[in-house]
Structure formats: C-alpha cells, structure tokens
Amino acid sequence: MKQMLFQKYDTILFDADGTLMDFSDAEHQALLRTFRAHDLPFDEQVDARYQQINNALWRQFEQSLITKETLLHTRFAKLFEELSVTGIDADAFNTEYLFNLGYGSKTLPYAAEVCRQLHARGCRLYILTNGVAATQRRRIHASGLMPFLSDIFVSEEAGCPKPALAYFEYVFARIPAFIPEHALMVGDSLSSDMQGAYRAGIDRCWLCSDSAKQAPIPIQYRISSLKELLDQHN
C-alpha cells in the first residue's frame, strides 16, 4: 500500500467477523455452550459438519438464493437429522445459540488499536456486517470498539446482505456527506466484502494472510494484518 492511502480515504468501512471480530472463537464457545445445555455431544466431527452446513447456507444467502429465515431454520434441523437427534426443536435451539453467540465479543489482534488510532486521525469508521442484528449489535457493543465507530449497518436491518448492491446503497444513503471516492472497504471475504464493494464502486482493501490466495476481481490494497493499516498511515 502507498503511504498516501489515508490522505485519500476519510471513511473506512470495516467488515466485522474475520476482520475486527474473532467470530471463530465466538462461534465455537456458543456452540459448545448450547450443545452442553442440551446434553448433546459436541466434538470436532460435529463441529466440522456444522461448519459445512452453515457455510453452504451462508453462501446461498449471499447469492440471494435463500432467505435469512430459511438459513436460520435449516442449519440445525439438517444437522440434527444427520446426527439422528430427536426431541429438540431446531428453531428453539438456534435461538438459544444466537443468544450465546452474543457473548462473543473478542476482537482480533490490533483491531482496537487500529480503530482507536484511525478515529483519532479523523477517519470515520463504520461496521458493515451480515448476520442477525440483535446478536451482532450485542457483540460489537461489548467489544470495546463502540467509542471509535460512527455507526453499524447490519444486513438484516437493511433487508439484503453483502454483497448486494442494494445493501451498499442502503449504507451510503445513511452516511452523512458520503463521497464514494473517499471511502475504503476493509474486509476478509472476497465473496461479500470485496465483491460487494466492487459492485458499489468503492475501493477495496483485502485482509488475507494466505499469500497464495488470489482475488478474482481488482483489489486496490492487500494486507496480511490489520496493523498494516497503521503502518501505512504513519
């Protein structure tokens, strides 16, 4: 990245999970707590199968092939069917899981320091996230990042997910004096963060620690750690 980066951008749009927030930790702890509450075994095999089911459903949701309601209703129902679990309502289990997920406020390395310093240097910071609004807002409010954020935009409240153009238009309309040329999307997901920003015509900064992984769309900046944002702003 060029050292002039943050002389160009004054509005930074951050993804939440995998960028600022440690979703893997939050998810694992929530699954463990919910499965234990129902005396169900939860091991690496169960975890791996849940991940496969859930990730596939989220990809369908991002492509507008299914609704959020279908995703939330299906993931545990399908898992329980495969595990031959009976006598547990999958929808109620999902509701309990989401409540437990709300405890997951752990941030990723450098997230708080990056937000603090960028905010101090005059950047407006926003979080753009897919997910269940009540859960995401609860996690972010408990993360310690709120003093540095101007607003949070959750797909559930927007009525459509990243990477839909309509989602980004919803966000842009709610940011005061928004200038697309002065905005930068920072995220770890090619399919939602980078693809969505590309569709919306704003510059992109891809957070990816895998140097072998390539982006199928043009990316202005690529970083392997959030700390690099500060390195380039000094």
Condensed to tens digits (0 to 9), the pLDDT of residues 192-229 reads 999 999 999 999 999 999 988 999 999 999 999 999 98
Q: Which pTM value belongs to this model?
A: 0.89
Q: Which residues contact 213 (CB under 8 A, 6 or more apart)?
A: none
| Residue 173, burial from CB neighbour count under 10 angstroms (0-12, 13-18, 19+) | exposed
Helix intervals (H) in the chain: 5-8, 23-37, 44-62, 68-83, 90-101, 111-120, 133-141, 155-158, 165-173, 195-200, 227-231
Q: Examine the pLDDT at 3 and tell me if it is beyond 60.
A: no
Question: What average pLDDT does the chain have?
Answer: 93
Active-site residues, by number, are 15
Tens-digit pLDDT profile for residues 77-135: 999 999 999 999 999 999 999 999 999 999 999 999 999 999 999 999 999 999 899 99
Closest CA to 14 of 228, 164, 178, 193: 193
Domains in the chain, ordered, with CATH? 5-22+106-231 (3.40.50.1000), 25-101 (1.10.150.240)
Report the distance separating Cα 87 and Cα 41, nearest Å: 15
Which of 49-53, 58-62, 138-142, 199-203 comes out lowest in average pLDDT? 58-62
Q: How far is 88 from 189, CA to CA, in rounded Å?
A: 33
Residue 65 has, within 13 A of its CA and on its CB side, a CA count of: 7
Q: What's the confidence (pLDDT) of residue 131? A: 87
**Tokens at 208, concatenated:** 């990816």
